[in-house]
Amino acid sequence: MKQLDERGKQCPMPVIETKQALETAAPGESIEVIVDNEIAVQNLTKMANHKQLKSHAEKKSDLEFHVVIENGTEGNGEKAAEEEMACIPDTRSQGMIVVLSSNQMGSGDEALGRLLMKGFVYAISHQDELPEKILLYNSGAFLSCEGSDSVEDLKEMEAQGVEVLTCGTCLNHYHLEDKLMVGGVTNMYDIAESMTKAGKIIRP
């Protein structure tokens, strides 16, 4: 795997240099790009999507984000260079909050509900407009913890600047305190304040 350290470089340099690295990489070879801000992650992820390449992003710290892009076969998903290298604005929708109060979506069969919730979180992570925050409480706390199929999708959104917050009381109730895999811990006061001030609340 090739690694590019693009920290401190202004757009569009991370996108341009990553594109150049992909052009010289073997089919199937991965490129790991290290950047220092969420907007760079959004630009790299959008470039990978335009080229129809698999990508994965993860936040390591407030100033370190890793984006891994897997090179495809020659000529796969080529788009206009101008579109690939464009510096996009922040894709987070200010004031939009996603509330996940259960690890299932809808009522009825539990296995189906868990499958639907997995699909919902995945779908949210691939929208052109991402939420500002994702709040997880009650059994929704399981979604951000070890063993959840949604952890990677939540990490992908966190790396692009989405704030992922799980209720601390809920983690304690379900004995998940040491199993949180993504985001931070919040309390009911902050959850209530976030929902009160939200311009739009998405609740599956």
Catalogue the active-site residues.
Answer: 11
Long-range contacts of the stretch 183-188 (C-beta < 8 A, 24+): 183/134, 183/136, 183/144, 183/154, 183/158, 186/135
User: How many CA within 13 A on the CB side of residue 26?
Assistant: 4
Q: Where would I find the H helices in 102-159?
A: 110-125, 151-159
For residues 118 and 103, what is the distance between their CA atoms, to the nearest angstrom?
A: 8
Residues linked to residue 67 through DSSP beta bridges, in sequence order: 33, 57
Q: Where would I find the H helices in the chain?
A: 13-24, 38-50, 81-84, 110-125, 151-159, 168-173, 188-197
Question: Per the structure block, which two tokens stand in for 173?
Answer: 């109730």
CB 40 within 8 A of CB 69: no
For residues 47 and 79, what is the distance between their CA atoms, to the nearest angstrom?
A: 9
